[in-house]
Structure 1
């Protein structure tokens, strides 16, 4: 743990040195991310210009769910920024370099591609969640902080598990399949109540690509614990299961990897 902790600090220092050297790029990255999140928020607000509720959920409740959705997504994007893995590490042969080093290869990839600027999105999500909490008039208990952190960990693990599995497919398939953009679009369904979808999509978002656990189920606990506590509290379990499966599949893929070739 001390070894990986020192690696994290070293990579964090290098990240900050790079970003502070090109500060305009850092601010453009942050602003573009905020604009993207702002468009999603604008879409929700436009929807509620035409209706008072969405399947019985008010505007403030939907914003609360969306605010929660942004928090684990920002943490995930910061530490599991593996979008360009196939092109950079498989096609261009960078994976060969990674495998010659003593640290676990996945940890190296995480550290090399950290994007702390994404945490700004988490901060914005927390602000949205806090404003919606006040508008709804939800009671606050100290225990809620620990429950929230537990749910947050589970949600991040769900994200990581799903996308590590999809990234590891690159060890077996040479061509780009376009599956990552498809799944990215599906994940956005997790920021709305699952009851607004048909039964097939509910099953997809709960048990197959469990993105309901990165937004709706954990957030719904704070809004209506009597009806949603059961699903909310299995969020950490779902996260651990998917993340464990992802690590096993990743390690299997690494063993199958035979180098970049000529």
Structure 2
């Protein structure tokens, strides 16, 4: 563990040196991320200009869920941003370089693509949650902070497991799968109350591609939403995270064993 932490620190220092050389690029990335998240928030606010509630959820509650959604997504994007894995590591052959080094291949790929500016999104999400928390008059204590951290960790693991599995599919095909953009769009459904969808979509988002566990379900714990027993499912988020990440890591390890190199 100490060795891996030392490697991570060295990569972070190299990242900082690069960003200090191109500071404008750093701030452009931060601002563009904030604008993107801002547009999503504006969309929610516009919806509530035409309806007082959404599936029994008030505007403040839905914005609260969106704030929670941003926190694990920002952490995930920082440490698991492997969107271009297939093109860079399989098609261009960089996986061959990774496999010559005495460290786990997934760890190497992750730290080569670390993106600290994405943590700004998590900070903004926490601020949004705090504002809505006060507006809704929700109780707040030390136990709430601990539960929040646990639920965020579970949500991050769900993201990590899903996208690790999607990246691992590239080991079985030399061509980009094209499925990542589709899953990216599906994950956004997790920031809305699942009870607004029909039963099939609700089941799909909860148990097959469990993106409801990265937003609305864990957030419902603090809102104490009883609809569809969401608040009771919230504490399953860490368990779901461990299961999904374990499956994603297993698929990755199997894919690495199957990988035969980029060829000549």
- The alignment's TM-score, normalised by the length of structure 1, stands at 0.98
Gaps of 5+ in 2: none
Quote the residue 2:112 is aligned against: 112
SS of the residue aligned with 1:261? Answer: coil
Q: What CA deviation, in whole Å up to 9, does each residue of 1:64-112 have, x standing for no partner? A: 0000000000000000010111111111110000000011010001111
Q: Does 1:260 align with 2:250?
A: no
How far did 1:178 drift? 1.6
1:34-45 alignment, distance < 5 Å: 34-45=34-45
How far did 1:60 drift? 0.2
How far did 1:173 drift? 1.5
Q: Does 1:249 align with 2:213?
A: no
Runs of 4 or more, structure 1, over 6 Å off, are none
How far did 1:225 drift? 5.7
Quote the residue 2:166 is aligned against: 166
Quote the residue 1:179 is aligned against: 179
SS of the residue aligned with 2:139? Answer: coil
1:178-257 alignment, distance < 5 Å: 178-224=178-224, 227-257=229-259
Quote the residue 2:63 is aligned against: 63
Worse-superposed segment, 172-181 or 53-62: 172-181
> Aligned partners of 1:94 and 1:178: how far apart in 2?
19
- Figure out how many residues of one structure are paired with residues of the other and give that number: 262
Quote the residue 2:152 is aligned against: 152
> Aligned partners of 1:197 and 1:173: how far apart in 2?
34
Q: What CA deviation, in whole Å up to 9, does each residue of 1:201-233 have, x standing for no partner? A: 101111110000000000000001654332100
SS of the residue aligned with 1:259? Answer: coil
> Aligned partners of 1:230 and 1:51: how far apart in 2?
27
Q: Is the Cα contact below 8 Å between 2:170 and 2:177 reproduced in 1?
A: no
Quote the residue 1:77 is aligned against: 77
> Aligned partners of 1:99 and 1:56: how far apart in 2?
51
How far did 1:176 drift? 2.3
> Aligned partners of 1:62 and 1:225: how far apart in 2?
12
1:85-164 alignment, distance < 5 Å: 85-164=85-164
1:10-25 alignment, distance < 5 Å: 10-25=10-25
How far did 1:141 drift? 1.5
Report the CA distance shift for 1:225/1:146 in structure 2 as closer, same or farther (over 3 A). farther
